């Protein structure tokens, strides 16, 4: 399918997901459809990226609805394998991006990224897309996948789309479905903390410590929020920075009740000024 597309001068596009599709996913689908044919979406709740005790069992599954959304959007094919097909008995090969995968999300969720990069490599091998589409919502994941693609000479170009948000700023996520009404009201505090940083940067603040301290303070003011990390990092290395320079990310992870949420802000220096994307 992918080879045929290439022969005919078309690019095959892949949008990998875990289902429970929302507008964040659909924005990637639309980006793929604008650029590629055929477009393949995958739905696979990948067991290997969940640690024991995480939400694998209760992860939202809305397969029928997902199929309808993908079909109405014009997606050509859906790949929705069973866990036993992706991980047959005797499976023993793992892909790990060293260093990058041990920080931030990787530190809070040991083994998570090994599961992600392994399953994404398998999806890319199976589908052989010319382009694969990921969301900046999971900025560290997108960075790791781009690194894997480079390190392993993959022929797939990794495209990263912007974060799609609810009207009150909360980044869309399948896990938002876990939030009780009071938690849902509290959840946009992640966005507001990042937006506070955006405003300070627009006013000229460049000091990473002051920016992260202000974000922490805003998160602490929300009684339902429990901070996991607030960091300002270089967008390439994911190492902490002391001053904003080049491309940086402010990354936030917090629990709202029992639900883990993440969000981020991308800052890119252009001609001495900072372009900021929430
Ligand atoms: P998931 O189903 O959560 O594994 O997400 C599948 C893809 O959709 C990943 O590349 C995510 O980064 C992306 N994605 C999830 N939420 C959003 C969002 N709110 N905006 C943009 N992309 C998203």
How far apart (Å, rounded) are the C-alpha atoms in residues 267 and 261?
20
Q: What atom in ligand 1 is closest to the CA of residue 133? A: 10
Q: Annotated catalytic, 25? A: yes
How far apart (Å, rounded) are the C-alpha atoms in residues 86 and 119?
8
- The neighbouring-strand residues paired with 156 are none
- Interior/surface letters 92-113, b for 16+ CB within 10 angstroms, e for the rest: eeebbbeebbebbbbeebebbb
Query: Is the bond leading into 169 cis (omega within 30 degrees of zero)?
Result: no
Split at pLDDT 50, 70, 90, the class of 31 is: very high
Q: Report the pocket of ligand 1 as residue ranges, CB < 6 Å.
A: 17-18, 24-25, 27-28, 134-135, 137-138, 161, 163-164, 171-174
What does 108-158 look like in DSSP terms, one character per residue?
A: HSTTHHHHHHHHHHHHHHHH--SEEEEEGGGHHHHHHHHHHHHHTT-SPEE
Cβ proximity of 236 and 148 under 8 Å: no
The helix (H) or strand (E) run that includes residue 230 is strand 225-234
Query: What are 57-78's pLDDT values in tens digits?
Result: 999 999 999 999 999 999 999 9
Whole-model pTM?
0.97
Structure tokens of 19? 């289902």
Closest C-alpha to ligand 1, atom 10: 134
Q: For the chain, give the percent of residues with pLDDT over 70.
A: 100
Tell me, what's the pLDDT at 273? 86
Query: What are 195-226's pLDDT values in tens digits?
Result: 999 999 999 999 999 999 999 999 999 999 99
Give the Å distance between the CA of 200 and the centre of ligand 1.
27
Closest C-alpha to ligand 1, atom 14: 135
Compute the half-sphere exposure of residue 249: CA atoms within 13 Å on the CB side of its CA. 21
Cβ proximity of 161 and 6 under 8 Å: no
Q: What is the mean pLDDT of the chain?
A: 97
Compute the half-sphere exposure of residue 244: CA atoms within 13 Å on the CB side of its CA. 27
Q: For the chain, give the percent of residues with pLDDT over 90.
A: 94
Q: Are strands 39-43 and 131-135 parallel, antiparallel or unpaired?
A: unpaired
How far apart (Å, rounded) are the C-alpha atoms in residues 156 and 154?
5
Q: What atom in ligand 1 is closest to the CA of residue 15? A: 7
Compute CA 141 distance to the chain's CA centroid, rounded to the nearest angstrom.
6
- Closest of 207, 268, 202 to residue 241, by C-alpha: 207
Residue 7 has pLDDT above 90, yes or no: no
Query: What are 226-266's pLDDT values in tens digits?
Result: 999 999 999 999 999 999 999 999 999 999 999 999 999 99
How far apart (Å, rounded) are the C-alpha atoms in residues 19 and 16?
9
Closest C-alpha to ligand 1, atom 17: 24
């Amino acid at each position: 399918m992918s080879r045929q597309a290439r022969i005919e001068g078309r690019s095959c596009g892949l949008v990998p997901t875990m289902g429970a599709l929302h507008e964040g996913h659909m924005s990637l689908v639309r980006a793929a459809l604008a650029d590629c044919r055929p477009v393949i979406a995958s739905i696979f709740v990948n067991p290997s990226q969940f640690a024991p005790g995480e939400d694998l069992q209760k992860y939202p599954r809305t397969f029928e609805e997902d199929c309808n959304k993908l079909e109405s959007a014009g997606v050509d094919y859906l790949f929705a394998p069973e866990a036993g097909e992706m991980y047959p008995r005797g499976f023993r090969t793992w892909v790990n991006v060293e260093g990058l995968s041990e920080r931030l999300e990787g530190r809070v969720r040991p083994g998570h990224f090994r599961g992600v990069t392994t399953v994404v490599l398998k999806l890319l091998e199976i589908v052989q897309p010319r382009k694969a589409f990921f969301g900046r919502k999971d900025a560290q994941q997108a960075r790791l996948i781009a690194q894997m693609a480079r390190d392993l000479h993959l022929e797939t170009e990794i495209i990263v789309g912007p974060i799609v948000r609810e009207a009150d700023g909360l980044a869309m996520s399948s896990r938002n479905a876990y939030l009780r009404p009071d938690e849902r009201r509290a959840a946009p505090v992640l966005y507001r903390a990042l937006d506070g940083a955006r405003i300070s940067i627009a006013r000229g603040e460049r000091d990473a410590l002051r920016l992260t301290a202000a974000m922490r303070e805003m998160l602490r003011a929300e009684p339902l929020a429990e901070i996991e990390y607030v960091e300002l990092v270089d967008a390439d290395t994911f190492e902490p920075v002391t001053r904003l320079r080049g491309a940086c990310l402010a990354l936030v992870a917090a629990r709202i009740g029992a639900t883990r949420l993440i969000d981020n802000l991308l800052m890119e220096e252009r001609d001495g000024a900072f372009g900021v994307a929430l």
